[in-house]
Structure 1
């Protein structure tokens, strides 16, 4: 069964399943610079924490789905659910339309692949951590940027 945030109880059911059934949880921070994080639940570590173009991120998701089948959960930061843009919001709003379109593309893509997924409102993810805080929290010592840290926080600890 595919658990999506649109279904009643979908989020709770997805979290329960994430803690028992999934081997890989993949976080996607949408945008021109797509953040991708692959969390290996069994080994309790990131296999991938990177920034890349959307087509490369989609390739990674499809490859994990081929290898692990229904043992993959994808969590996408859904810009369509953002309602605050903060300081300099007039500049951020200029790029908001394309990021919202990316969210729609991801949702359509994951539906087509029949991969379990959850579209996460930005305010429901612990975002905008600096690298030092991220390293302390996750134990990850490699180089990071804002995009892959945001993707990582979508899946860390599931």
Structure 2
């Protein structure tokens, strides 16, 4: 099984694993990350391997610290928009995906902790580590059947009900 983790934002955290082993943990633009997802999808299709995209969905956040200021709140708004963009991207491309609440991700790990937990030794950003921690956790949850991954929804054509 291939998992792709997306930590949404201007600097998109990107990670992907094969059978729970990290292959890439990086920071990318949203468009380059989407291109990479499609490349991995095509590679997975050739091998008939199951692929799941895990997207951190800040729309499921139950609280926002009101002391963070107007500029940070604008950033929260853009990340919320990015979640919608990723969801639509997956739906348009027929990708199996799950929307993961931030509270279900072990985020904000130091590089040292991330290396100790995952074994990934290359340099990483905080966004990349968040994406990596998400798929590190969700690989086990999906594998054990704790988390169900729905089949991709059919794409709705414009004008149809």
Normalised-by-shorter TM-score class? 0.7 to 0.9
Q: Is the 8 Å Cα contact of residues 129 and 149 (structure 1) preserved in structure 2?
A: yes
Which residues of structure 1 form unaligned runs of 5+? Answer: 1-22
Residue 139 of structure 1 and its aligned partner are, at CA, apart by 1.1
Asked if 1:73 corresponds to 2:52, the answer is yes
| Cα RMSD, aligned residues only | 1.5
**What residue in structure 2 maps to residue 59 of structure 1?**
35
1:18-77 deviation digits (Å, cap 9, x = unpaired): xxxxx2100000000000001111xx4211110010000000111111111361100000
**What residue in structure 1 maps to residue 152 of structure 2?**
none
Alignment of 1:2-151 (within 5 A): 23-41=1-19, 44-69=20-45, 71-86=50-65, 88-90=67-69, 91-151=71-131
User: Runs of 4 or more off by more than 3 Å in structure 1?
Assistant: 85-88
Number of corresponding residues: 134
Which residues of structure 2 form unaligned runs of 5+? Answer: 140-161
Separation in 1 of the partners of 2:89 and 2:135? 19
**TM-score if structure 1 supplies the norm length?**
0.79
Taking a change above 3 Å as real, the CA distance of residues 92 and 82 of structure 1, as seen in their structure-2 partners, is farther
User: Secondary structure of the residue that 1:156 maps to in structure 2?
Assistant: helix
Instruction: From the CA coordinates, give the structure whose radius of gyration is larger.
Output: 2
